[in-house]
Structure 1
Amino acid sequence: MSQALPGAPLPRPTPLQRWLVLLFVSLAMFGNYYVYDALGPVVDLMREQLGFSYRQIGLLSSAYNWAALLVLLAGGVIIDRFGTKKAITVFAVICLIGAALTALTPHFEVILAGRFVLGLGAEPLIVAATTVLAKWFKGKELSFAFGINLSISRLGSASADWSTGFASPLYANWQDPLWLATAVAGISVAAAMLYWMLERRAEGRIDLGPGGEAERLDFKRLFAFGKSFWFIVALCVVFYSTVFPFRTFAIDYFQQAHGLQREAAGLLSSLLPMAAIVATPLFGLWVDRVGRRSVFMLVGALVMLPLFLAVTYLPPGPAVGIAIPYIGAGEVPLTLLVVMLLLGGVFSLIPAVMWPSVAYIVDQRRLGSAYAMMTFCQQLGWAAVPPIVGLLNDLGGAGPENPAGYAGGMWFYSALCGLGLLFAFLLWRHEGGTRGHGLDTITIRHPAAG
């Protein structure tokens, strides 16, 4: 790859360069997601072997979010100011340190500190990865690239669930599965370093969009985005505040409330990221061609609304067998299977549309700050929900002798889904007006002006 002549326009990235970037960034995200979701399969072991309450488990989940809140706004400006290649590598190393701390000792305070350190690195890492894809793929296969990236990320989540099968000997105690997660975190660091080398080689040789001086850390400007952006942010908050806390408790919930064995519960929980692995790129590819982004988000929010009450009140139905080659097999109630597949579809659709939509309504020089603000707000909601659900479970006396005790948490999830439907509707109405940004009209064949 030769240096461009002075004054000559730089070429855009080649397909090979774009897909290599996607591969490295997605591998970094794979390790990141695995480490986060490694907590779910050991919830019951922590309760049995360490004596932790549901409230303490909720705090372990929220420590991640509170840490993310401390760094996200500054992290976005750091990404814009110092560049994605440095940011993505530093944040991946912090994730590795957090994973090791979580597995290190049985003391609650140390495990809490490990989850806190993980939050300091993981969410800014996601912002950096999102910003990378936005600048390398904008005007090309942006939604499809986001979809592939989310699929590989979700494969990390699914692999954490599958570890109850392929790494079942490790589940004699709570600690060994978390050491496995620490090893997987090394994948993030290696992939981030490979991206660093690729971007460094590309500097001055290819066009990665408008440059200019990165903005200073100005908190007033951090909030200076339009209505469509804030409607997307609000949908993002309630969506992730519902799905990710549910996943934290899901395997334990399936075991305690529905009597599933650990391996079957892990397989059932993994259907959510598995569906996303397959469907997210397809939805992204579809959206790149037809637009209608606000409509897709509205449909996804509508489908999600009844699902948590369905698992609570509908008859379980007959037991059906599910199996994943080389991973495991088990029997699960039909109702739970259908609900998890539908939730997996929503988990594919909304993120595939929501995250790339921001690149069409925010100046590229502020993308790092925009994604950081979006993720910051997401973390506010996400941090609050697990302790609330844990408290509702404890107050309801939830457990295998009292499955009805889980109903309070399910009603709470459903209320969040109702808010998501409201924000999706407001976005759809605003984008259909004169102040819309073309989220429903911009396609590969009809790109945005300018």
Structure 2
Amino acid sequence: MEGEDEVRNLLEDEDEDRQTPRGPGRPMLPICDPSHLLHRVVVLVFMCFLGFGSYFCYDNPAALQTQVIQDMKLNTATFMQLYAWYSWPNVVLYHWFTVILLGTIIFSLFVCVGQVIFASGALLNRFWLMEVGRFVFGIGGESLAVAQNTYAVSWFKGKELNLVFGLQLSMARLGSTVNMNIMGWVYGKVEDLVGSPGHTTLGASLMIAAVTCLFSLSCALVLAFLDKRAERILQKEQGNTGEVIKLTDVKDFPFPLWLIFIICVCYYVAVFPFIGLGQVFFIEKFNFSPAEARAVNSIVYIISAPASPVLGFIVDKTGRNVIWVIIAVVATLCAHMMLAFTFWNPWIAMSLLGVSYSLLACALWPMVAFVVPEHQLGTAYGFMQSIQNLGLAVIAIAAGALLDTRGYLVLEVFFCACICLALMAVVMLYFVDYLRGNRRMEL
């Protein structure tokens, strides 16, 4: 009888071992298992919403361009300082925050605090305080995107990663789209409650927008918990991509990489500052209502949300990144020329701009990995983001001053010139790659 009891006990132990492969205790449900796809899908949902508040509030000034200028008694050049102050800290701090990786919670707090300061500046009728708020907001906004990408690399590997990046970009652009189309309505509702437009109405509207930042902060807290839990259960370190930022690597960057930097800066300075000033442009040139102007101004983000994953898949399958970049730059130049020199329905040009913007993002950024070794990727991407923010800060100020003194036609010609510089750089990149016999960006 004792032998039968021992056999029975051994069989029961084996059954328990098969049911709990990770150790003692009850087996985990798939949704609770960090190694299971279902659990990672839950993590992906929180990752996608992590940047929603940041992207929603980034373009609050564009969505309320008329109201900000009128309520705060600004000219356009001063108004564009709100975008410049967002970019300035990321010219320098981007490298250090990538190294230190303070975490999504701290970055989300910067975003929340910055938006509250920004709204408080409007409430108190202190524009300098609004600028301080955008500066603080900028410290967290770009760094939060870095942390978001780090989470993606940590949780998703291989072929899944491209889809995850596409979904994150789509959700980010959804935040920008919702902002463009809802903030004018929010301002109107607050105006009805307050009784008249003014800085108080503007500040209250911006404070309501800060709720989206609190939502993203809650996602950051959940992600931090899930990440720590996965580290404990899987017994491995999460959130480490293995990339090291070394600023001394800049001197070793090859010539094709500098051409990619030029393309990046010259292209994006003709897109984001234009969207920041676009609402009044569509009202004045095409006689659109404010609601129609906000809608057409947001079409770039509306299109990029679903188009980014699809175009990224196409670029991955076909290769020839440099050809796709040429197509995107030429299409963007055509869109700006239509807006500058014709009175065609602007929905056509803005839709073309939306597709080309999405295509360039999918084709340009991966090319960095084709021209630098893996151990320099962190430095290369960090430097690329830094000079992009430097360009955006400088051009935002220049665009505002140009609009005040010369008008929208000259401003559009200026944007066309920037795109032409990007086109010359990408054509040069094609020939440099061809003459060197690498052709890594064409295959």
Aligned to 2:412: 410
Question: Quick one: structure 1 residues 129 and 93, their matched pair in 2 at CA, closer, same or farther if it must change by over 3 Å?
Answer: same
Alpha-carbon distance in 2 for matches of 1:207, 1:97: 33
Picking from 417, 421, 443, the partner of 2:423 is 421
- Structure 2 residue 380 is matched with structure 1 residue 370: yes
- Structure 2 CA distance for aligned equivalents of residues 123 and 55 of structure 1: 23
Give the corresponding residue for 1:290: 318
Q: By how many angstroms is 1:361 displaced? A: 5.2
Residue 47 of structure 1, aligned match among 35, 55, 69: 69
Match of 1:71 among 82, 85, 93: 93
Match in the other structure for 2:146: 127
Identical amino acids, percent of aligned pairs? 26
Query: Kindly tell me: are residues 196 and 226 of structure 1, through their superposed partners in 2, closer, same or farther at Cα, counting changes over 3 Å?
Result: farther
| Equivalence map 1:19-418=2 (5 Å) | 19-79=41-101, 86-105=102-121, 106-134=125-153, 136-164=155-183, 166-167=185-186, 168-170=188-190, 172=197, 173-203=201-231, 205=234, 215=244, 218-316=246-344, 334=345, 336-359=346-369, 367-396=377-406, 405-418=407-420
Aligned in 2, Cα 1:187/1:360: closer, same or farther, shift over 3 Å? Answer: farther
Instruction: Report how far residue 137 of structure 1 moved.
Output: 4.2
Contact 1:101/1:113 (8 A) holds in 2: yes
Query: What residue identity is the alignment partner of 1:145?
Result: V
Between the aligned partners of 2:377 and 2:222, the Cα distance in structure 1 is 23
Q: How many angstroms does 1:438 deviate by?
A: 3.6
The alpha carbon displacement at 1:15 in A equals 4.1
Partner SS state of residue 51, structure 2 = helix
> Shift in Å at residue 285 of structure 1?
1.7
**Secondary structure class of the residue paired with 1:109:** helix
Relative distance call for 1:177 and 1:428 in structure 2 (3 A) is farther
Q: Is the 8 A contact 1:164 1:266 kept in 2?
A: no
C-alpha contact (below 8 Å) 2:89/2:138 kept by paired residues: yes
Question: Offset at 1:210?
Answer: 12
Q: 1:62 Cα deviation (Å)?
A: 0.5
User: Match of 1:315, SS?
Assistant: coil
Q: C-alpha deviations, 1:397-427, integer Å up to 9, x for none?
A: xxxxxxxx21111111111111111222233
1:228 Cα offset (Å): 4.1
Change (3 A) 1:163 1:43: same
Distance 1:42 1:224, change over 3 A: same
Aligned residues: 401
| Paired position in structure 2 for 1:324 | none
Aligned 8 A contact 1:294 1:431 in 2: no
After TM superposition, give the deviation of residue 177 of structure 1 in Å: 2.6
Please state how far the C-alpha of 1:280 moved relative to its aligned partner.
0.8
Would the alpha carbon gap of residues 262 and 298 (structure 1) be closer, same or farther in structure 2, given more than 3 Å must change?
Answer: same
Letter in 2 for 1:241: V
Give the match's secondary structure for 1:91: helix
SS at match of 1:376: helix
3-state SS in 2 of match to 1:409: helix
Look at both structures and tell me which one has the larger radius of gyration over its CA atoms: 2
* Structure 1 residues 366 and 3: alpha-carbon distance in aligned structure 2, compared to 1, 3 A threshold: farther
| Range moving further from structure 2, 68-77 or 125-134 | 125-134
Distance in 1, Cα, partners of 2:152 & 2:368: 12
| 23-32 or 54-63, larger mean C-alpha shift | 23-32
SS across alignment from 2:64: helix
Matched to 1:128, the amino acid is A
| 2:243–2:377 contact (8 Å) kept in structure 1 | no
SS of match in other structure, 1:48: helix
Distance 1:127 1:87 in 2: 10
Moved more, 377-386 or 414-423: 414-423
Shift of 1:436: 3.9
Contact 1:241-1:382 within 8 A present in 2 as well = yes
**SS of residue matched to 1:203:** helix
CA distance 1:170–1:240, shift in 2 (3 Å)? farther
Equivalent residue of 1:102, what SS?
helix
Q: Which has the higher helix share?
A: 2
CA contact (8 A) 1:297 1:353 kept: yes
Question: Structure 2: which 5+ runs fail to align?
Answer: 1-19, 24-33, 192-196
Q: Could you tell me how far apart the structure 1 residues matched to 2:211 and 2:146 are?
A: 23
Q: Which amino acid aligns with 1:132?
A: Y
Q: Alpha-carbon deviations, 1:34-57, whole Å to 9, x = none?
A: 110111122211222221111111
Contact 1:143/1:287 (<8 A) preserved: no
TM-score by length of 1: 0.81
* Cα distance in 1, alignment partners of residues 21 and 378 from structure 2: 29
Q: Which runs of 5+ in 1 are unaligned?
A: 5-11, 80-85, 317-333, 397-404, 442-450
Structure scoring higher RCO (CA < 8 A, sep ≥ 6) equals: 1
